[in-house]
Structure 1
Amino acid sequence: MADENMEVEIARLDERLKSIERMLVDVVAGQKEAIDGRRRGYEAQERTEREMIGINHRLTSVEKSVEAIRPTTVELERVRDRVVFAGSLGKVLWAIGKAVISAAAGAAAAYYAMTGRPPP
């Protein structure tokens, strides 16, 4: 009887130890998953940091390029203003030219009407 009780106690202890062992295996597996998760998080953070550094360098290059073409942009604006002014001046001169030609044609017609001869 004592041997049976002892065997039962040993069996219970053995089951408890197996249960503790399974729990320890689960804890170790969870720690490995946590380590992998942290590693992936750090890798993602490093990739993001490298991408941000690359974007920062590209943005700096774009800013330098914009500063480099600023004089060209200012000159282009001046040329555009000159072209707009020249177009307006051309329209005014064209209107004056049409008026002068019309006046000359009218004067020639009046001379012809009054004298009956073509103008000299």
Structure 2
Amino acid sequence: MADENMEVEIARLDERLKSIERMLTDIVASQKEAINARRRGYEAQERTEREMIGINHRLTSVEKSVEAIRPTTVELERVRDRVVFAGSLGKALWGAGKILIAAAAGAAGAYYSITGRPPP
């Protein structure tokens, strides 16, 4: 009976040890999985950081390009304003020219109708 109790106790201890071994195996597997997940997270973070650095460099280049063309843009605005003014001045002069030609034609017509001869 004592041998039988001892065998039962040994069997119970063996089962407990197997259970502990399975738990340790599960813990090791979950630790490996956690290590891999952290590694993937760090890699993704590094990729994002590299992309952000690239975007920052590109934005800096765009800002420099915009600053480089700013004098050209200012000059273009100045030229545009001059063209608009010249267009308005041209319209006004064209209108004055039409009035002057109409007045000259009216004067020539009046001279012809009064004297009967063409204007000199």
Query: Scaled by the length of structure 1, what TM-score is found?
Result: 0.90
Paired position in structure 1 for 2:50: 50
Tell me the secondary structure at the aligned position of residue 118 of structure 2: coil
Aligned-partner Cα distance in 1 for 2:103–2:33? 97
Unaligned runs of 5+ in 2: none
Amino acid at match of 2:62: V
Paired position in structure 2 for 1:15: 15
Superposition deviation, residue 118 in structure 1: 3.4
Matched-pair identity in %: 88
Aligned-partner Cα distance in 2 for 1:28–1:69? 61
Superposition deviation, residue 95 in structure 1: 0.6
Unaligned runs of 5+ in 1: none
Paired position in structure 2 for 1:60: 60
Moved segments of 4+, more than 6 Å: none
Query: Scaled by the length of structure 2, what TM-score is found?
Result: 0.90
Deviation track 1:20-58 (CA, whole Å, cap 9, x = no partner) reads 111111111111111111111111111111111111111
Superposition deviation, residue 115 in structure 1: 3.1
Write the mapping of 1:1-120 to structure 2, written as runs, cut at 5 A.
Answer: 1-120=1-120
Aligned-partner Cα distance in 1 for 2:57–2:81? 36
Amino acid at match of 1:81: D
Q: Please provide the CA RMSD for this pair.
A: 1.4
